[in-house]
């Protein structure tokens, strides 16, 4: 790996300071750092490129921030296939498994080729209005449809592979990947899915009928949601708000053609991350 792209949470001073040290360290290892214009301006380094170009010009991405920063990096890197190493500048993250104290030992291993990657499936979601596609997204965590400012529950007719499942009467519905199962879906009572499993979770948000529980489906499923309410309804993809949905709109969700490759932590496994983040075993 010759060219190392750096994606940093630039509104966090620590990320800028770590980036400065990291750039010097990479140069001492005869590696070429690739940074975007915003980070370059904060570091007083002229030049730089767009964040999209950072991904396309690099052999790997090194993410400095938290899980949100890594989600942003995933949107840049999924088309390139390059591996991503996530470094959390605060507490341990589900996606950013490397702590700041482990950064340089982990990078030594990566530069020597002593690392493993884990493939993470992504979702492809599109909005269909009157038979025409009006928006399309590729996401790592989740897509959810939810009520907006209205206080009323909404009706979401849901089918899987064309088979009618149910019409959810709820505040919304979350469709998550295994990676996203520890995000909003978990908060809404959804299951934790091991990251390498080929499955998606459908988790209703505050369903009117308590027997409407989360379900897990194969990731070769095609999920379609028809909007049957005229209330204010929103779609959100990896935390980013999309356009308002209208009565009769259809949201189609399925496995994306792309995947991302996360560099695994050499210091802890997934279950240790779960125990630490979710404070399992504590009294």
Looking at the annotation, which residues are catalytic? Answer: 67
49 DSSP 8-state letter: B
**What's the start-to-end Cα distance of the chain, in Å?**
45
List of E strands, 96-153:
98-99, 117-129, 132-139, 142-147
Tell me if 121 sits within 8 A of 178, measured CB to CB. Answer: yes
- Which burial class, exposed, middle or buried, applies to 31 when counting CB atoms under 10 A from its CB (0-12, 13-18, 19+)? middle
Choose among 142, 144, 53, 273: nearest CA to 7: 53
Give the HSE-up count for residue 176: Cα atoms under 13 Å, Cβ half-sphere: 30
Residue from 172, 163, 271 nearest 227 by CA: 172
Six token digits for residue 234: 């929103």
DSSP 3-state of 248: coil
């Amino acid at each position: 790996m010759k060219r190392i792209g750096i994606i940093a949470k630039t509104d966090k001073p620590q990320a800028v300071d770590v980036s400065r040290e990291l750039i010097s360290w990479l140069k001492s290892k005869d590696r070429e750092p690739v940074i975007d214009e915003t980070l370059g301006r904060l570091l007083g380094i002229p030049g730089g490129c767009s964040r999209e170009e950072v991904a396309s010009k690099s052999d790997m991405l090194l993410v400095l921030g938290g899980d949100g920063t890594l989600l942003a990096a995933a949107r840049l890197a999924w088309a390139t296939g390059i591996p991503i190493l996530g470094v959390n500048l605060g507490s341990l993250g589900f996606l950013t498994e490397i702590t700041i104290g482990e950064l340089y030992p982990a990078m030594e291993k990566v530069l020597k080729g002593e690392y493993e990657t884990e493939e993470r499936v992504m979702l492809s979601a599109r909005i269909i209005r009157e038979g025409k596609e009006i928006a399309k997204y590729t996401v790592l965590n989740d897509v959810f449809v939810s009520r907006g400012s209205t206080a009323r529950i909404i009706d979401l007719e849901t089918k899987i592979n064309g088979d009618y499942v149910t019409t959810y009467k709820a505040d919304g519905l979350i469709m998550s990947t295994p990676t996203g199962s520890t995000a909003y879906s978990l908060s809404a009572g959804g299951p934790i899915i091991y990251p390498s499993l080929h499955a998606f979770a459908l988790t209703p948000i505050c369903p009117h009928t308590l027997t409407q529980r989360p379900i897990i489906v194969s990731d070769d499923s095609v999920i379609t949601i028809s909007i049957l309410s005229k209330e204010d309804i929103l779609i959100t993809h990896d935390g980013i708000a999309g356009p308002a949905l209208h009565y009769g709109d259809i949201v189609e969700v399925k496995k994306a053609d792309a995947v991302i490759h996360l560099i695994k932590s050499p210091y802890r496994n997934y279950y240790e991350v779960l125990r630490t983040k979710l404070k399992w075993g504590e009294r």
